[in-house]
Chains A and B, each alone.
Chain A
């Protein structure tokens, strides 16, 4: 290898070294540590190696399957609503109608606010019987709605709140994607007399695949991870564990039952699931997105 080549390698690796360092410190080492802990058990303060017993324990725990089911339901409905409404909003915003900035700000502000604050605001709105919503409908002579005491309503409430939280962000992402589509495509389709749905089906969606995949990937992460904040603060994972999302289950294992090995085992399961889902999503993108040419 000649000197110039060596220098090129050194230069290249030097460029990625800082990023790799942080990747190592804050991802790889914790991941390896997590895997090690997930293979151990705390017996009177001593960590002993138990191989895959924690994983067996997790897979035979009905609470794990319940929380997985809850997270999957939450995530699917959340993705459909958040991506769908975000896309519709971005199509509306693309035309830069009146109050453009106000609408962008109104939908984007929830995203930049602290989730805890948002959760508390919604809790005060929907609380039974003294929340703002129930007080208002009480004035109209209607009975209060127990948003958080009924399993289905509780789940719906959390999904609506999470959609409120992320819809504006998704709309901005879609808007960026839409603005990258050449206007000539839309002009040509107008000349051909294409309807809105035909434009959506044959121009917008195929050309938004990278954005769509990104939004779905991010939303999957939100559905599994960030839903914890809402579930904890608004319903405390109830009623009847109907909103006991996966991260709540893991948190409960780690911090309420002081069982960090099992919590790590559950985390590893989720990690593998995420990697698998991300792989499928990006594979779909590679197969179906053919660029703008």
Chain B
């Protein structure tokens, strides 16, 4: 009988132990958060600039907060934050690609910051277009941290070797591909596509087609878009360019490495390359031009960049976290980030600051940035990421362009039909 009682007691202890530990841990964390305050934030590893560390640490010190951060690549970031939203274990501040902000806002995951943002003195200073990217409905849910876009990087040495200029139109780009392949191939390939399809979008964005969705329908059903995709399919099938295996954002590094090591002559990318080149590939002689479009088209490119937002249910007071957001987006912080990493920023006073005028990123991208459009922003707002890059429907179209010589008219028709079905 004694043995049985002991067994029962042991069983009860085993059963209660996890609960006791769990509850204990929770209480401890809560107590700790209430008494000292813990600033918990998620950040991208490519944006770990010293200036951001400094601003965050100063803010935490002033307010007596401990700092806890998680550094996550975009792929795992998405998984982690979605799980957090579902479980109610969100951080206080997140840095995410700005279209995600609209997407999260549409699901009710973010704090509405309209009042704080519109009453802040810096509101008017931000480029007006940047607010489109962080809004949902009539409300604002975040602030842009970086404001960038895509351009065509080219290897100046390769172009000098064969005596040509960088292409201004898509037709010229096709010619350039032929020349580079003839003169420098096969060791050097003329251009590298990206595995996700994101870098196709700058080719599609134009004044005629500034957005992926117009009037509740796919806007890609135009002769220009069809001709553009067919031209790019021809390039992909030519054997003169690098066509990557299917992959996610994380495998984009293959194309970047090939460009940075001089194995390909052109690639589409953004100003985030500049800090990397400066630090790790200082001998690379490169230039930047607008992403080539068909000659008859007035070109635009795709906006990029990240934003800051506060998840609903975060532990620190929203006003406190918003204060940190304003410090991270202040002109002085922005200028320091530009000087440190060549990043571009979303406000007028930054652009006018003489300290950044000499920066290579500003000089290269300054001419292109005014022509950037948040091409697929509505996709997030209507909750259909599958119809843009990385999504299943768009990826199918992109992969047909890259990996087959089948009719792109049929592939585009299929894409448009499926997109319109989903939109309806």
Contact = CB atoms under 8 A, between A and B. Distances in A.
A149 B244 CA distance: 9
Interface stretch (A74-82, A201-209, A249-257, A272-280): A249-257
Contact of A7 (B4, B15, B107, B384): B4
B238 interface: no
Nearest to B421: A62
Contact of B78 (A241, A244, A256): A256
B402 to A, nearest CB: 8
Contacts of B108: 42, 44-46
Contacts, number: 98
Contacts of A258: 82, 85, 103-104, 107, 109, 383
Nearest to B263: A130
A149 B246 contact: yes
Given A14-B8, A18-B15, A239-B403, A256 B312 contact: no
Interface string B54-95: 000000000000000000000000110011011000000000
A146 B103 CA distance: 36
Interface stretch (B25-33, B320-328, B392-400): B392-400
B246 A148 contact: yes
B79 A255 contact: yes
Contacts of A15: 7, 11
Contacts of A254: 82
Contact of A240 (B15, B107, B399): B399
B391 interface: yes
B107 A42 contact: yes
Interface string A1-27: 000000100110011011001000100
B246 A25 contact: no
B399 A239 contact: yes
Contact of A238 (B14, B107, B383, B399): B399
B251 A240 contact: no
Given A42-B107, A236-B248, A238-B395, A150 B82 contact: no
Interface string B4-18: 100110010011001
B247 A257 contact: no
Given A18-B15, A236-B248, A260-B86, A63 B399 contact: no
Interface size class of B (residues with CB under 8 A): 35 or more
Nearest to A21: B15
B37 interface: no
A239 B392 contact: no
Given A238-B399, A258-B104, A258-B383, A127 B8 contact: no
Interface in A135-182: 146-150, 154
Nearest to B246: A238
Contacts of B384: 257
Contacts of A235: 245-247
A14 B385 CA distance: 50
B243 interface: yes
Nearest to A46: B108
Contact of A236 (B82, B106, B107, B251): B251
B287 interface: no
Interface string B104-127: 101111000000000000000000
Q: Which of A63, A127, A236, A257 has the most CB of B within 10 A?
A: A236
Interface size class of A (residues with CB under 8 A): 35 or more
A269 to B, nearest CB: 18
A257 B385 contact: yes
B390 interface: yes
Nearest to B103: A258
Contact of B11 (A17, A63, A123, A252): A17
A241 B400 CA distance: 11
Given A17-B15, A127-B245, A256 B7 contact: no
A258 to B, nearest CB: 5
B386 interface: yes
B195 interface: yes
B14 A241 contact: no
A286 B8 CA distance: 36
Nearest to A127: B245
A232 B390 CA distance: 12
Contacts of A25: 18
B82 A255 contact: yes
Nearest to B396: A240
B246 A236 contact: yes
A46 B108 CA distance: 7
Contacts of B103: 258
B392 A244 contact: yes
Q: Which of A7, A14, A123, A259 has the most CB of B within 10 A?
A: A14
A72 B392 CA distance: 20
Nearest to B106: A44
Interface string B150-167: 000000000000000000
6 contacts: A17-B11, A18-B15, A42-B108, A44-B108, A255-B78, A257-B385
Given A241-B395, A258-B107, 20 more contacts: A10-B4, A11-B7, A15-B7, A18-B11, A18-B14, A44-B106, A44-B107, A44-B108, A45-B107, A45-B108, A45-B312, A127-B245, A148-B246, A236-B247, A238-B246, A239-B403, A240-B400, A241-B392, A257-B383, A258-B85
